[in-house]
Each structure stands twice: as structure tokens, then as C-alpha cells.
């Protein structure tokens, strides 16, 4: 039986994480909360100290990158070309502690900006793959 794919369920399944987050404003809010928490919460101190005192540059770059990574406009690539994320992270010593702080900070930010649980779980898995790939020292 041909089920038209214009049903609510099918539309939902086709939505990108970018759209589900609320588009550009949603990505901005998530990135802002992520770096606010990194700045505020002592449990993220190990990754905070890898960053410059002023987080403006990091906020802008992560926002541009996540826009494309989440299925929205490829803002980072338009401006800077291929992100080469692993290479760009080599100057920072990233082990499991740093990876896990990054992921916990992002999980807290997603919860606090009200990302629905199902999407949070999906993104947590995707962020894990990327963050784990960024590890560049044992431990």
C-alpha cells in the first residue's frame, strides 16, 4: 500500500538535527550555553584551560561548524574550507578526560537549552564519535 510520505511521521524522520534544534538560532543558543558552562563549571576546567581567555573565537567557529555538521548551511566550509578537525586539535593535549569533559559539557548544554531527549541521545552518540576521534594522547 502506497503510504504518502507527507505524513507527520515521515516529515519528522526527514528533519535534520539542525531543523529540529530550531535552525540558526537554536545552534547559536546551544553553542553559547556550551561555552558559558565551560567557563562557569569547575568540572570542565581541564578543557577550559586549553582555550584562550576570550572564548569569542571558539564560539564563532563552533557555531559555524555545527551549522553544517547538523545538516544546515555549511557556513564553516564556505569561509574556511575543509575543517581538518583532528589536525586543528593537535596543538591541544586531548585524552579521555578532555573528551569526556567536552561531551559532558555538551550534554549539559543540550539539556539546558531544552533539546528533546530523543534528539539529545542521537547527538550524544554522534558527538562521541567526533570527540573520540580527536584524542591525540594516551590516557
Contacts to ligand HEM by CB under 6 A: 47, 50-52, 57-58, 61-62, 65, 80, 83, 85, 88-89, 92, 94, 98-99, 102, 127, 130-131, 134
Q: Which is nearer to ligand HEM, 23 or 83 (CB)?
A: 83
State the nearest-atom distance from the C-beta of 52 to ligand HEM, in Å.
5
Check: CB of residue 66 under 8 Å from CB of residue 27.
yes
CA distances from 83 to 17, 23, 37 (A): 20, 21, 24
State the nearest-atom distance from the C-beta of 23 to ligand HEM, in Å.
18
State the nearest-atom distance from the C-beta of 14 to ligand HEM, in Å.
23
Amino acid at each position: 500500500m502506497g503510504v504518502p510520505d507527507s505524513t507527520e511521521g515521515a516529515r519528522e524522520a526527514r528533519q535534520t538535527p539542525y531543523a529540529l534544534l530550531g535552525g540558526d538560532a537554536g545552534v547559536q543558543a546551544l553553542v553559547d550555553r556550551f561555552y558559558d558552562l565551560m567557563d562557569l563549571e569547575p568540572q570542565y576546567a581541564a578543557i577550559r584551560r586549553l582555550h584562550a581567555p576570550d572564548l569569542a573565537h571558539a564560539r564563532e567557529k563552533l557555531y559555524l561548524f555545527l551549522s553544517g555538521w547538523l545538516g544546515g548551511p555549511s557556513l564553516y566550509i564556505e569561509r574556511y574550507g575543509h575543517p581538518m578537525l583532528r589536525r586543528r586539535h593537535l596543538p591541544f593535549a586531548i585524552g579521555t578526560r578532555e573528551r569526556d569533559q567536552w561531551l559532558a559539557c555538551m550534554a549539559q548544554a543540550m539539556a539546558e537549552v531544552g533539546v528533546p531527549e530523543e534528539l539529545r541521545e542521537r547527538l550524544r552518540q554522534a558527538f562521541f564519535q567526533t570527540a573520540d576521534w580527536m584524542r591525540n594522547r594516551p590516557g
